[in-house]
Amino acid sequence: MWAMCLRVWALTIKEWLAVLKDKRSRLSLIMPPLVQCLIYGYAATYDLNHIPYAWLDNDRGAASQALYAKFAGSGVFDLRATPPNAEQARRLISEREALLIVQIETDFQRHLELGEPAAVQVIADGRNSNTAAAATAYASAIVDQFNVEWRAAHGAPPPPLQVFSRSWYNPNLETRWYMAPSMIATLSLVQTMMLTALSVAREREQGTFDQLLVTPYSANEIMLGKALPAMFIGLGQASLVVVVAQLWFHIPFAGSYLTLYAGLSAFMLAAVGAGLLISAFSATMQQAMLYTFFLLMPFMLLSGLTTPIGNMPESLQYLTLMNPLRFALTLVQRVYLEGADLALLRPYFMPLLIIGALSLSGAALLFRYRLN
Amino acid sequence: MAAGEAAPLAVSGVKLCKTFITKSHSVQALRDVDISLPAGSLTALAGPDGAGKTTLMRLLTGLYAADSGELTVLGLDAKRQTQALQTRIAYMPQRFGLYEDLSVQENLDLYADMHGVPAVERPARYAELMEMTDLSKFLGRLAGRLSGGMKQKLGLACALVRWPELLLLDEPTVGVDPLSRRELWQIIRRLVAQQGITVLVSTAYLDEAEHCRQAIVLAEGRVLAACAPQELSRAAAGKVFLLTPPPGQAARNLQARLLDRPTVADALPQGAGVRVTLRQPLADPADAPWPAQTQWQAAVPNFEDGFMLLTSAAEPRLPPVLVLHHDGRAPPAAAGEIVIEVRDLVRRFGDFVAVNHVSFQVRRGEIFGLLGPNGAGKTTTFRMLCGLLAASSGELRVLGQDLRFARAASRRRIGYVAQKFALYGELSVRENLEFFASAYGLRGGRRRERLHWAIEQFELSVMLDVPSGRLPGGYRQRLAMAAALMHEPEVLFLDEPTSGADPRARREFWRRITDLSDQGVTVIVTTHFMEEAEYCDRALIQDGGRILAQGAPAEIRRLGARPDGGAPTMENAFISIVSQARLHE
């Protein structure tokens, strides 16, 4: 047993050296996750922060000025133009200079003072439906707030129903808070799978695999020796993203590191299993590379990272149960943002461990089959 | 053509120098090299590894520019008129760029496209090339599925899609069996005779140089000789002898001992005896370096004798005797015990029978050779012995077990050196040795001792921190051997260990092998160099998956007896055995 551990350890060291000795390959482990993490942190966001809009005020009273102040002070809307008439306002939308037009009717102030309903028309560019919906929602929130304040200031009773929304775990509903923890799992998956898939294929191509097979190593020991270093490297990359999320993006970590790393280890096991399965199938590095990309795409799409799993057709939802990334994403988010503990995370741990066990034993079987 | 008669020169180079500068050091690949190739001549370029053969070839193609010196090729300045030059020459590098996933025909088409051969000329040209290379039956086969010899012939055909005026071939016969080698040379000679092409061939097989009109011997970037091969042979006149060892002594032991004598330039086992080349003619038989009771006679010198005489002066002595056990441990159990037993071994790939009912036995301490042309099934047999491939049927025992199913403990008793260099290229020499020491379960003091032993015995200390992928050829092989021997295996498997090695490196290698055998290590080796079968205790010749001959080298040679009663060399015997067997098919 001890002898076996020493042998596997030697193989692990060898893999480490092979990956880390070369400066370029060292950089290729650090730079892509770092750059991707920053890109996702900044670019992948559903938040609208600079909505270009035009203000068409046909009343020019104190009330409309007060409403305008609300828009200007929201920090979300950028004023692009104050067109004199509806015709010009229409052109601003058509030419994509403004996403939104806020139009105040002529008798705005008078209606308000008489306690009658006054109309604010919001026209949005519907060519991008998601953005238009989000922008109009922001605008109506501002108008709602204006209503409440106007009533209070003019001695009118408050509106009968009011919504007070508060979001837990991400108080400002920033996409980045959701994205960064997701990157911890996603980015380490890519390289871990690639590393294991390629390392066996590389040895096959260079003829060193035969050399390895005639040594006292058993097929299982070889697999273990390939799996361990890739797992360590994957964990290292995950840590890198954790550091960036906290120190660069200042997203507070709510959970325990022990839980996080336990979860990530279970996930790495499944990722390495998938990588080894690929390497058992492929004879060349080129094949291994192709199979890896072939798997990565559905892993990403079916993980719930960009589109909720609940929105998918039922058959696809079943398919996501085979996807380790699906469970890892939720697991990491819950540890990171919510501070969930091991007991709460059981439903994510178990599938990861099962996927890992199945893929690893599948790879072991296939290896032995191919050797025969 | 008499010497001195003015023949037009296809190539004329004067004082060519080329230096490669890397980060850490610079290598002078060529120093003041003069070369002249008469038009329509066949010239051999011989020399040890790293002599500058490939660099010289690449200068002639215009791929490299000389640092200094004048080089005119086909009347063009090789440095300035490269483009014009390259349309008139053909160059086949050591690893010719065949597209292994394309068929023979597709490879030809591709090269014809690249060289802009007009479509109307192609059918006639292809027919000619296919007739020449005898590949017409294989037009549809993928290049990757051809045997080594056929690949080289296809490479040659692709290089010749457009008739060149000058053909440069860089070691075209490396890794090619004697039969295919013979065919390749027939093609080359026909090209010179019928097409009038000027050909320059670099080669590690020195007997091949004897077919050429001129031979250039290069060593460490300098021309040692440029003359007719016969002239070099004559330089060895009176210095070459054939010895018959006293009864009871193996020829290879006598040979190994002779190599250590300062007066000996070269020694090789040949037939039942030893061929010795002395540095000086033997003035007084009492000065002979061999034991007094040895029978000896003068021999007719050949090109290889002259070559070794010329190059051995410049090269370091062979390494001392290889001692496997650093602690002076006695070799295990006496010789004679059967270590490997193969009975009725069969391996099929689909319908194709690669190994067809093969049976043999190997005893402890024997050197056992597996010989055969490319595609004969010897590599398949070898891989099954090592446990890398399953047998379709039959029985197979190495140290009493089938290695495929053997536990770690039995695999620790064998060593393996692959055909291609198969250590980790990015790891340094030391890291490779350390890894294989651990892989074989060496630890603590024993591990330290064995690492020290490996570095010492294989003289690796100067290269310890060099990534093994960047080692010069000779060091690579030593490292591969060191890694395979650190755990003191009882059986050593070697797959074409000398393919592509120069004559000096081959002698060095075989000397280590005979040392190991003397210490009780059983050695299984495949080789393309038939004369190397002379080092074996026993050998078998395979073709088409079947055993054609098996026995001691002398017995095999007897099977190939020539009709004129002359003593056949191992290579003649091999060719006659294989071609006779093919005739009966």
pLDDT, tens digit, 9 for 90 and up, residues B113-169: 988 888 998 998 898 888 888 888 888 888 888 877 788 889 989 988 888 999 999
Q: Which residues contact B162 (CB under 8 A, 6 or more apart)?
A: B87, B90, B112, B115, B116, B117
Chain B interface, best mutation among A2, A8, A9, A14, by max B CB count within 10 A: A14
Query: CA of B471, closest CA in chain A: separation in Å?
Result: 16
Range of the domain at B283: 233-312
pLDDT of residue B524 exceeding 70, the answer is: yes
**Token pair listed for A364:** 């072991």
Q: What is the C-alpha separation between B565 and A46, in angstroms, rounded?
A: 93
* pLDDT-derived band at B342, boundaries 50, 70, 90: very high
**Token pair listed for A323:** 């996807």
Question: Per the CB < 8 Å rule, is A6 touching B438?
Answer: yes
Query: CA of A217, closest CA in chain B: separation in Å?
Result: 7
Can you give the pLDDT at residue B317? 62
Can you give the pLDDT at residue B479? 92
**Token pair listed for A125:** 């560019």
User: SS3 of A65, please?
Assistant: helix
Query: CA of B439, closest CA in chain A: separation in Å?
Result: 5
Question: Per the CB < 8 Å rule, is A14 touching B443?
Answer: no
pLDDT, tens digit, 9 for 90 and up, residues B201-232: 998 788 888 889 999 998 888 998 899 989 98
Question: Per the CB < 8 Å rule, is B418 touching A207?
Answer: yes
- Which residues from A are below 8 Å from B435, CB to CB? 10-11, 13-14
pLDDT, tens digit, 9 for 90 and up, residues A181-218: 888 999 899 889 988 999 888 888 888 888 888 888 88
Point out the domain boundary residue: B208, B230, B252: B230
User: SS3 of B276, please?
Assistant: strand
Q: Between B234 and A158, where is the model more confident?
A: B234
Q: What is the C-alpha separation between B100 and A116, in angstroms, rounded?
A: 84
Helix (H) or strand (E) holding A231: helix A219-243
Does residue A30 sit in the same domain as residue A115? Answer: no
Domain assignment of residue A4, yes or no: no
Q: What is the C-alpha separation between B536 and B554, in angstroms, rounded?
A: 10
Does residue B210 sit in the same domain as residue B243? Answer: no
- Which residues from A are below 8 Å from B467, CB to CB? 21
Calculate Rg over the CA atoms of chain B: 25
Q: Across-strand partners of B13? A: B35, B71
Question: Per the CB < 8 Å rule, is A208 touching B422?
Answer: yes
Please state the rounded mean pLDDT for residues B52-60.
91
Domain at A135, CATH number? 3.40.1710.10
Does residue B64 sit in the same domain as residue B181? Answer: yes
Can you give the pLDDT at residue B334? 58
Point out the domain boundary residue: B488, B504, B520: B488
Point out the domain boundary residue: B292, B312, B332: B312
Domain assignment of residue B470, yes or no: yes
Q: Across-strand partners of A79? A: A53
Which of B408, B423, B441 is closest, CB to CB, to A208? B423
Does residue B130 sit in the same domain as residue B196? Answer: yes
Can you give the pLDDT at residue B1? 41
pLDDT, tens digit, 9 for 90 and up, residues A72-91: 888 888 888 888 888 888 88
Residues 474-493 of B with CB under 8 A from A: 493
Question: Per the CB < 8 Å rule, is A217 touching B440?
Answer: no
Question: Per the CB < 8 Å rule, is B439 touching A372?
Answer: no
Does residue A213 sit in the same domain as residue A259? Answer: yes
* pLDDT-derived band at B343, boundaries 50, 70, 90: very high
Q: Report chain B's mean pLDDT, rounded to a whole number.
A: 86
Query: CA of B405, closest CA in chain A: separation in Å?
Result: 10
Domain assignment of residue A169, yes or no: no
Domain assignment of residue A164, yes or no: no
Does residue A208 sit in the same domain as residue A355? Answer: yes
Among chain A residues, CA nearest to B412: A216
Q: What are phi and psi of B258, to 5 degrees?
A: -65, -35
Does residue B72 sit in the same domain as residue B174? Answer: yes
Chain B interface, best mutation among A5, A21, A214, A284, by max B CB count within 10 A: A214
pLDDT, tens digit, 9 for 90 and up, residues B543-580: 888 898 899 988 888 887 766 666 678 888 888 888 88
Range of the domain at A258: 12-44+174-371
Does residue B226 sit in the same domain as residue B239? Answer: no
Q: What angle do CA B44, B418, A292 make, to 5 degrees?
A: 110
Does residue A182 sit in the same domain as residue A135? Answer: no
* pLDDT-derived band at B5, boundaries 50, 70, 90: low
pLDDT, tens digit, 9 for 90 and up, residues A110-125: 888 888 888 889 999 8
Q: Which residues contact B156 (CB under 8 A, 6 or more apart)?
A: B92, B133, B169, B172, B184, B187
Strand positions, DSSP E, B171-261: 198-203, 214-219, 222-227, 240-244
Q: What angle do CA B167, B168, B174 make, to 5 degrees?
A: 125
Calculate Rg over the CA atoms of chain A: 28
**Rounded percentage of chain B residues whose pLDDT exceeds 70:** 95
- Type of residue numbered B195: Q
pLDDT of residue A66 exceeding 80, the answer is: yes
Helix (H) or strand (E) holding B224: strand B222-227
Point out the domain boundary residue: A104, A124, A153: A153
Q: Which residues contact A153 (CB under 8 A, 6 or more apart)?
A: none
The 10 Å Cβ neighbour count of residue A284 is 12
Q: Where are the alpha helices (DSSP H) in A282-312?
A: 285-301
Domain assignment of residue A3, yes or no: no
Q: What is the C-alpha separation between B87 and B115, in angstroms, rounded?
A: 8
Can you give the pLDDT at residue A155? 79
Among chain A residues, CA nearest to B406: A216
Can you give the pLDDT at residue B205? 80
Residues 417-446 of B with CB under 8 A from A: 418-427, 431, 434-436, 438-441, 443
Can you give the pLDDT at residue B296? 87
Does residue B221 sit in the same domain as residue B238? Answer: no
Domain assignment of residue A180, yes or no: yes
- Which residues from A are below 8 Å from B420, CB to CB? 206-207
**Rounded percentage of chain B residues whose pLDDT exceeds 90:** 29
Does residue A55 sit in the same domain as residue A40? Answer: no
Query: CA of B406, closest CA in chain A: separation in Å?
Result: 9
Among chain A residues, CA nearest to B409: A216
Chain A interface, best mutation among B414, B424, B432, by max A CB count within 10 A: B424
Q: Across-strand partners of A124? A: A100
Does residue A80 sit in the same domain as residue A197? Answer: no
Domain assignment of residue A333, yes or no: yes
The 10 Å Cβ neighbour count of residue A94 is 11
How many domains does chain B fold into? Answer: 3
Chain A interface, best mutation among B100, B347, B435, by max A CB count within 10 A: B435
Can you give the pLDDT at residue B2? 43
Can you give the pLDDT at residue B4? 46
Q: What is the C-alpha separation between B214 and B38, in angstroms, rounded?
A: 10
B192: left (phi over 0), alpha (psi -120 to 50) or beta: alpha
Task: Write down the residue that tokens 């109307």 correspond to.
Answer: B120
Question: Per the CB < 8 Å rule, is B425 touching A206?
Answer: yes
Does residue B66 sit in the same domain as residue B184? Answer: yes
Does residue A186 sit in the same domain as residue A288? Answer: yes
Can you give the pLDDT at residue B360? 94
Can you give the pLDDT at residue A178? 83
Domain assignment of residue A91, yes or no: yes
Query: CA of B389, closest CA in chain A: separation in Å?
Result: 7
Domain assignment of residue B214, yes or no: yes
Question: Per the CB < 8 Å rule, is A211 touching B411?
Answer: no
Does residue B272 sit in the same domain as residue B159? Answer: no
Does residue A205 sit in the same domain as residue A338? Answer: yes
Point out the domain boundary residue: A153, A187, A210: A153
B414 and chain A: CB distance < 8 Å anywhere?
yes
Cα B97 to chain centroid, rounded:
21
B492 close to B532: Cβ distance less than 8 angstroms: no
Task: Write down the residue that tokens 């194709």 correspond to.
Answer: B352
Does residue A124 sit in the same domain as residue A202? Answer: no
Burial B432-451 (b: 16+ CB within 10 A, else e): bbbbbbbbbbbeeeebeebb
Does residue B273 sit in the same domain as residue B225? Answer: no
Which of B412, B424, B467 is closest, CB to CB, to A208? B424
Can you give the pLDDT at residue B504? 79
Long-range pairs for B128-136 at CB < 8 Å and ≥24 separation? B129/B157, B129/B160, B129/B161, B130/B157, B132/B157, B132/B187, B132/B190, B133/B157, B133/B187, B134/B183, B135/B104
User: SS3 of B138, please?
Assistant: helix
ipTM of predicted assembly, 2 dp: 0.77
Q: What is the C-alpha separation between B383 and A301, in angstroms, rounded?
A: 44
Query: CA of A236, closest CA in chain B: separation in Å?
Result: 22
Chain A interface, best mutation among B438, B488, B524, by max A CB count within 10 A: B438
**Token pair listed for B481:** 């051997």
Chain B interface, best mutation among A9, A28, A211, by max B CB count within 10 A: A211
B103 close to B143: Cβ distance less than 8 angstroms: yes
Distances in whole angstroms, Cα of residue B144 to Cα of each of B126, B157, B410:
20, 16, 35
How many domains does chain A fold into? Answer: 2
pLDDT of residue A28 exceeding 80, the answer is: yes
Question: Per the CB < 8 Å rule, is B441 touching A206?
Answer: no
Question: Per the CB < 8 Å rule, is A211 touching B493?
Answer: no
Domain assignment of residue B211, yes or no: yes
Question: Per the CB < 8 Å rule, is A214 touching B416?
Answer: yes
Question: Per the CB < 8 Å rule, is B440 touching A208?
Answer: no
Query: CA of A355, closest CA in chain B: separation in Å?
Result: 29
Distances in whole angstroms, Cα of residue A284 to Cα of each of A206, A278, A362:
10, 11, 20
pLDDT, tens digit, 9 for 90 and up, residues B70-93: 999 998 888 888 888 888 999 998
Question: Per the CB < 8 Å rule, is B435 touching A372?
Answer: no
Which of A7, A9, A18 is closest, CB to CB, to B427? A18
- Which residues from B are below 8 Å from A207, CB to CB? 418-422
Domain assignment of residue A167, yes or no: no
User: SS3 of B398, please?
Assistant: strand
Question: Per the CB < 8 Å rule, is A212 touching B439?
Answer: yes
Which of B404, B409, B431 is closest, CB to CB, to A17? B431
Angle at which helices A342-371 and A324-333 cross, to 10°: 150
Which of B387, B420, B424 is closest, CB to CB, to A18? B424
Can you give the pLDDT at residue B21? 83
Q: What is the C-alpha separation between B43 and B212, in angstroms, rounded?
A: 5
Which of B423, B440, B467 is closest, CB to CB, to A215? B440
C-alpha count within 13 angstroms, C-beta hemisphere, residue B412: 12
Q: Please name which of B438, B550, B167, B568 lies closest in space to residue A13, comparing C-alpha atoms.
A: B438
Query: CA of B426, closest CA in chain A: separation in Å?
Result: 6
Can you give the pLDDT at residue B563? 64
Evaluated on CA atoms B471, B477, B478, B479, the torsion sign reads positive
Which of B386, B419, B438 is closest, CB to CB, to A214? B386
Distances in whole angstroms, Cα of residue A356 to Cα of each of A236, A256, A271, A359, B547:
19, 23, 7, 5, 48
Helix (H) or strand (E) holding A133: helix A129-153
- Which residues from B are below 8 Å from A17, CB to CB? 426-427, 431
Does residue B18 sit in the same domain as residue B131? Answer: yes
Query: CA of A240, closest CA in chain B: separation in Å?
Result: 26
Q: What is the C-alpha separation between B534 and B521, in angstroms, rounded?
A: 18
B278 close to B239: Cβ distance less than 8 angstroms: yes
Angle at which helices B148-159 and B178-195 cross, to 10°: 20
Taking every pair of C-alpha atoms in chain B, what is the biggest distance, in angstroms?
Answer: 73
Does residue A118 sit in the same domain as residue A72? Answer: yes
Query: CA of B96, closest CA in chain A: separation in Å?
Result: 18
Question: Per the CB < 8 Å rule, is B422 touching A17?
Answer: no
Q: Please name which of B363, B389, B365, B357 lies closest in space to residue B495, comparing C-alpha atoms.
A: B389
Can you give the pLDDT at residue B328? 67
A195 close to A275: Cβ distance less than 8 angstroms: yes
Can you give the pLDDT at residue B332? 59
Does residue B197 sit in the same domain as residue B245? Answer: no
Domain at B166, CATH number? 3.40.50.300
Q: Between A157 and B567, where is the model more confident?
A: A157
Does residue A179 sit in the same domain as residue A147? Answer: no
Point out the domain boundary residue: A153, A182, A214: A153
Task: Write down the residue that tokens 């133009």 correspond to.
Answer: A81
pLDDT, tens digit, 9 for 90 and up, residues B20-52: 887 667 778 899 999 999 999 999 999 887 788
Q: Report chain A's mean pLDDT, rounded to a whole number.
A: 88
Does residue B39 sit in the same domain as residue B125? Answer: yes
Does residue A184 sit in the same domain as residue A283? Answer: yes
- Which residues from B are below 8 Å from A214, CB to CB? 386-388, 403, 411, 414, 416, 493
Q: Across-strand partners of B17? A: B68
